[in-house]
């Protein structure tokens, strides 16, 4: 039988990690001869919901097992959650869902909603009951939403891969010992098939996180092979406890695709077309704000300081410019759209006026005072009937898609290098080596 296992919310602020549990489970399940029909999936859900501490990641494991193995697989999963799941920590509400067979239409629909909405726990529970799935949850139980959504999000369309390597427990909390030069070399020889490795502009390694969690590094790319090759190029001077290749919706804009047509709502991703209403303003902290009007109403768009050069693009917008804004409304500041991407659709004419030239000597005329026309400072001509002339200025901006700097990317942000290279999943199980040992 097919068995789908969803896991969520084993993270807490104290450094748990849902993917780490998944990595341990991969090894334990392979050991008992459970057959993986897909790479383990990391599914990022709606990044704008208020009760998440980090990236809102859930995991799905998809297995083919003999019917008789079901109970022992459930036991293995629950024992790992109890061992590693930070049960009892604030903000950690770990949950697991076990669904026999393949995801039903209602599970898939819940998954789509969980990318772009705040899904109530009762909706998830109803679908778990209706699909005869089994579940286990701790704390508030809210983890059931993500666990079920991970099962339903089968990544049939665009997807990417991430190789995640983990540290030994005794090293967690210390600086990660991954050689920066080797990251640059790996980046240069594998991009654009890998991405978000290194921020050239700010000279920052991006594959290593900074928290106390067990993740040593994560390499993102287009195929399982390329992330494995890239991993082999790194010089790492601390022991790697284990590693796994995940298939994910990272770098696919999945949340924005799911939000299309949903309108403008709090705690949701937003995709909306509009017209710039007023000149953008830059605050003391370096944040940039501008108002737009849309068929949904008038909103403020915000590009915060970490978005970097995107703010310089925005500062050149003028009233009348047509834009598509992509982002989210975390809800802390009312209906302010936190920009993740800006598409300039068309530019308004930027016009200014200037005094006419003297019809007698050709010098530019001066104003003779309010309502008094112009006079020439060279030949003293007085020209009462002349009018200021309107001139069009050229705009430096060009229509197109603009993203923030790398350091402001969300997990789901699709880098420009992936545009028009989206891929469809072939549905084949992982064949070669995709996890340690
Ligand atoms: Zn003159």
Cα of 250 vs centre of ligand 1, distance in Å, is 67
Residue 51: its pLDDT value, please?
Answer: 67
Cα of 384 vs centre of ligand 1, distance in Å, is 13
Cα of 200 vs centre of ligand 1, distance in Å, is 56
127-147 pLDDT tens trace:
999 999 999 998 888 889 999
Query: Distance between CA atoms of 344 and 328, rounded to whole angstroms?
Result: 18
Q: Which residues contact 300 (CB under 8 A, 6 or more apart)?
A: 289, 290, 291, 335, 336, 337
Residue 302: its pLDDT value, please?
Answer: 96
Q: Which residues pair with 383 in a beta bridge?
A: 374
Cα of 374 vs centre of ligand 1, distance in Å, is 10
Dihedral sign computed on CA atoms, order 301, 303, 309, 310: negative
Cα of 258 vs centre of ligand 1, distance in Å, is 65
Cα of 361 vs centre of ligand 1, distance in Å, is 4
Cα of 352 vs centre of ligand 1, distance in Å, is 23
Query: Distance between CA atoms of 178 and 156, rounded to whole angstroms?
Result: 33
Residue 386: its pLDDT value, please?
Answer: 83
Q: What SS3 string covers 270-327?
A: EEEEEEECCCCEECCCCCEEEEEEECCEEEEEEECHHHCCHHHHHCCCCCCCEEEEEE
Cα of 378 vs centre of ligand 1, distance in Å, is 5
Cα of 355 vs centre of ligand 1, distance in Å, is 13
Note whether 102 and 4 are within 8 A (CB): yes
Residue 388: its pLDDT value, please?
Answer: 87
Cα of 375 vs centre of ligand 1, distance in Å, is 8
Cα of 365 vs centre of ligand 1, distance in Å, is 7
What pTM value is reported for the model?
A: 0.89
Alpha helices in 155-314 (DSSP H): 180-190, 224-232, 254-259, 310-314
Cα of 387 vs centre of ligand 1, distance in Å, is 15
Query: Distance between CA atoms of 372 and 189, rounded to whole angstroms?
Result: 69
Cα of 372 vs centre of ligand 1, distance in Å, is 16
Residue 14: its pLDDT value, please?
Answer: 47
Torsion of CA 211, 213, 219, 220, to 10 degrees: -90
Cα of 351 vs centre of ligand 1, distance in Å, is 26
Residue 223 Cα to chain centre, angstroms: 19
Residue 55: its pLDDT value, please?
Answer: 62
Cα of 388 vs centre of ligand 1, distance in Å, is 16
Residue 104: its pLDDT value, please?
Answer: 95
Query: Distance between CA atoms of 6 and 120, rounded to whole angstroms?
Result: 17
Cα of 373 vs centre of ligand 1, distance in Å, is 14
Cα of 392 vs centre of ligand 1, distance in Å, is 25
Radius of gyration of the chain (CA): 27
Cα of 362 vs centre of ligand 1, distance in Å, is 6
Residue 15: its pLDDT value, please?
Answer: 47
What are the structure tokens assigned to 134, written together? 């089994």
Cα of 386 vs centre of ligand 1, distance in Å, is 13
Cα of 393 vs centre of ligand 1, distance in Å, is 26
Cα of 385 vs centre of ligand 1, distance in Å, is 15
Cα of 394 vs centre of ligand 1, distance in Å, is 29
Number of alpha carbons in the 13 Å side-chain half-sphere of residue 147: 34
DSSP 43-82: EE--TT-TT-SSS-EEEEEEEE--GGGHHHHHHHHHHHHH
Omega within 30 of 0 (cis) for the link into 145: no
Query: Distance between CA atoms of 152 and 137, rounded to whole angstroms?
Result: 18
385-418 pLDDT tens trace:
888 888 888 899 999 999 999 888 889 999 999 9
Q: What is the pLDDT along the chain (437 residues), one digit of tens a residue?
A: 999 999 997 555 444 588 999 999 999 999 999 999 999 999 999 988 876 545 678 999 999 999 999 999 999 999 998 887 666 566 678 899 999 999 999 999 999 999 999 899 999 999 999 999 999 998 888 889 999 999 999 999 999 999 999 999 899 889 999 999 999 999 999 999 999 999 988 899 999 988 888 999 999 999 999 999 999 999 999 999 999 999 999 999 999 999 988 888 899 999 999 999 999 999 999 999 999 999 989 999 999 999 999 999 999 999 999 999 999 998 777 789 999 999 999 999 998 888 999 999 999 999 988 888 899 999 999 988 888 888 888 899 999 999 999 888 889 999 999 999 999 999 988 977 899 98
Dihedral sign computed on CA atoms, order 207, 342, 419, 6: positive
Cα of 269 vs centre of ligand 1, distance in Å, is 60
Note whether 34 and 231 are within 8 A (CB): no
Cα of 370 vs centre of ligand 1, distance in Å, is 20
Note whether 97 and 133 are within 8 A (CB): yes
Cα of 399 vs centre of ligand 1, distance in Å, is 42
DSSP 367-378: E-STTS-EE-TT
Cα of 383 vs centre of ligand 1, distance in Å, is 10
């Amino acid at each position: 039988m097919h068995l789908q296992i969803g896991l969520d919310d084993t993270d807490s602020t104290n450094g748990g990690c849902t993917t780490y549990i998944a990595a341990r489970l991969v090894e334990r399940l392979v050991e008992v001869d459970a057959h993986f029909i897909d790479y383990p999936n990391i599914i990022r859900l709606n990044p704008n919901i208020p009760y998440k501490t980090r990236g809102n990641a859930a995991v799905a494991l998809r297995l083919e097992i003999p019917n008789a193995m079901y109970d022992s697989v459930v036991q293995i999963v629950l024992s790992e959650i109890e061992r590693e799941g930070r049960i009892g920590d604030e903000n950690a509400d770990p949950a697991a869902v076990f669904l026999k067979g393949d995801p039903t239409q209602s599970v898939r629909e819940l998954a789509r909603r969980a990318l772009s909405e705040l899904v109530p726990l009762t909706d998830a529970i109803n679908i778990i009951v209706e699909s005869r799935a089994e579940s286990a949850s701790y704390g508030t139980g809210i983890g059931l939403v993500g666990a079920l959504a991970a099962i339903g999000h089968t990544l049939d369309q665009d997807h990417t891969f991430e190789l995640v390597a983990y540290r030994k427990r005794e090293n967690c909390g210390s600086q990660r010992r991954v050689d920066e030069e080797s990251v640059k070399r790996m980046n240069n020889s594998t991009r654009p098939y890998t991405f978000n490795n290194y921020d050239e502009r700010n000279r920052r390694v991006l594959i290593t996180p900074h928290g106390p969690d067990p993740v040593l590094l994560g390499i993102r790319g287009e195929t399982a092979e390329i992330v494995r090759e890239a991993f082999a190029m790194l010089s790492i001077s601390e022991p790697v406890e284990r590693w796994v290749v995940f298939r994910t919706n990272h770098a696919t804009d999945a949340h924005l695709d799911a939000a299309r047509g949903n309108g403008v709502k709090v705690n949701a991703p937003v995709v909306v077309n509009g017209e710039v209403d007023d000149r953008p303003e830059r605050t003391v902290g370096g944040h940039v704000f501008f108002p737009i009007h849309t068929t949904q109403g008038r909103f403020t768009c915000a590009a915060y300081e970490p978005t970097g050069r995107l703010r310089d693009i925005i500062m050149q917008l003028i009233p009348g410019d047509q834009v598509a804004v992509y982002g989210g409304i975390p809800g802390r500041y009312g209906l302010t759209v936190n920009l993740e991407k800006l598409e300039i659709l068309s530019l308004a004419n930027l016009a200014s006026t200037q005094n006419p030239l003297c019809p007698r000597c050709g010098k530019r005329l001066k104003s003779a005072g309010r309502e008094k026309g112009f006079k020439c400072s060279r030949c003293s001509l007085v020209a009462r009937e002349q009018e200021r002339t309107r001139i069009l200025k050229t705009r430096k901006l060009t229509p197109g898609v603009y993203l923030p700097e790398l350091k402001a990317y969300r997990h789901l942000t699709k880098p420009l290098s992936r545009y028009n290279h989206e891929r469809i999943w072939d549905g084949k199980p992982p064949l070669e080596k995709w996890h340690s040992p």
